[in-house]
Structure 1
Amino acid sequence: VNLPVTQALSVIGGRCGDGFYRASAVLWSCAHPHAQSRFWVQPGQSLAAFKVPAGVRDLHLQLGGPRTATLKVYEGATAAVGAPGGRTLVGPDSLASFGRPSASWRGVGLRVSGAPGAQSVRFSGTLPSELLVMVHNGHGGDAAQVNVIVDHQGLQHCPPAERPGGCEPYDEHEARAEVYDWACWAANHFRAQANAWEVLGRPREEAGKGISWPDFGAMWDVFRGDSGQTQWLYAVRWLDQDGDDHVSRHEFDRGLAICPSAPVVRPADASARGLAGGHVA
């Protein structure tokens, strides 16, 4: 399943070490047994939020959001796209639901409590297989931010500290090529780096730190024109030089500068429309 992690609005739960990049809204390690993410979900949409690896102990998921929001949990990460053997563990007509709160699954206790918009899902024991967690926003509501808190009691086999679950091998050459394409695209749309930052960066800036890891994905969607693209995961790893899961203004401008035709640094032109109003020569 190609998880649309661009929809995650915030992430907590550890970091990837040198030679790896974050490929998931939730990272899995014994040292960081707590994570929190907020997802933007359209009405009628079931969003593939994150995978849970086999071996996680006593998993607890908590959802907070509008009364149309619920969790769906599938056995096997490809279950949501119809792979054989996948079983719906939590959701309508599943092993456990609000109407059937307790169940047993392959020797693991499963309990659902709360209500839509304030749901709790607990697994008592060690997960025997990988899970896929989806966030569903029912029809009749509005697009909404849904908060998911993840807690667990460690993993059966702790991954190396530099590579929690959810980190993947990083190819710096490929990442630089992606940033290069973006920088040259920006050079054709903005008169100056300041203009690019005002249109792309500042609206997503977080408390002076810069563009956060997940918000950067939404910015990259503007460049690629595809909300399902995942190239931004490499790009943000290359740009985030200090490893704080944010792209600062300085890091943003450094990325723009790698294209030979990159826009020069000068004060923003008030007439520049950027992407909001069309091409700027």
Structure 2
Amino acid sequence: MPKLRWSAIYNHSVLLIGVALMMGPVLLAFATSTHDRIVIHREGLQWSIGPNGVETYARAMFEGSGFTKTVNGVLMMTNSLVMGLGFAVGKIVVSILAAYAIVYFRFRLGVACFWLIFLTLLLPLEVRILPSYEVVQGLGLLNTYTGLIVPLIASATGTFFFRQFFKSVPDELLEAARIDGANWWRFLIDILIPLSRTMIAAIFIIMFVVGWNQYLWPTLMTTQEGYFTIVRGIRQIMQVWVESNIPAYEDAMALAILAMLPPVLVVVLFQRMFVKGLVETEK
């Protein structure tokens, strides 16, 4: 009989408690979404599975909602997907180019420029929201995908990670590329980007989740319901009162569950590349 290891029991107990704390609210939201709004309004959140699950999720996905009754879950998830992908891809492209210029062009103010970029971490979106809104409005980009994505694609975090990675690449690779006649563009495309694929995957996952979950910026940039993201749309549904002055609690809960699925799938599918990109030291 194997010897009982109290350390293993303790470690697994901590993990199980963490799982319960993380999954408990999700399971509660899912169970509540399967009940009628009258039951939820009268009795509160529900732990048991109700009879209206299929009907609720079908309505949340395909039935028009909001003030105009023209927006459904599919449209809002599409808007969130466009914003998440544009957010992630834009940040990766800008960060790679900025880090590449700082590391390899070796211009006089390169280090100063990097620290200026890095200091922007002290200025989150909430601090610069008013001037950012004024610029977007002046350019006529309100209620557009461009206005949702472009003002946010500069990333000090991504620039920092790619700079650190590029500095770990041996100088011999650059010298060999020069001997073979590769210019700066070929060196970036043919050598650095293939070497950076795990780092790109890690940054993509982080930025996609951040872009998908944006609430404040889409709230300011979009006044037309056709551009609402799913995170923005949940709030909109809760503002629309129906029947006997009862909000559509079950639809909001269903959309909350649906809003969790794409980020979870991205993390689960690419978790190995995510971990490898952040902790790998041998390049």
Pairwise same-fold verdict (TM > 0.5): no
Bigger strand share: 1
Bigger helix share: 2
**TM-score calculated relative to the size of structure 1:** 0.25
Larger RCO of the pair (alpha carbons < 8 Å, separation 6+): 2
Determine which structure has more spread, i.e. the larger CA radius of gyration.
Answer: 2
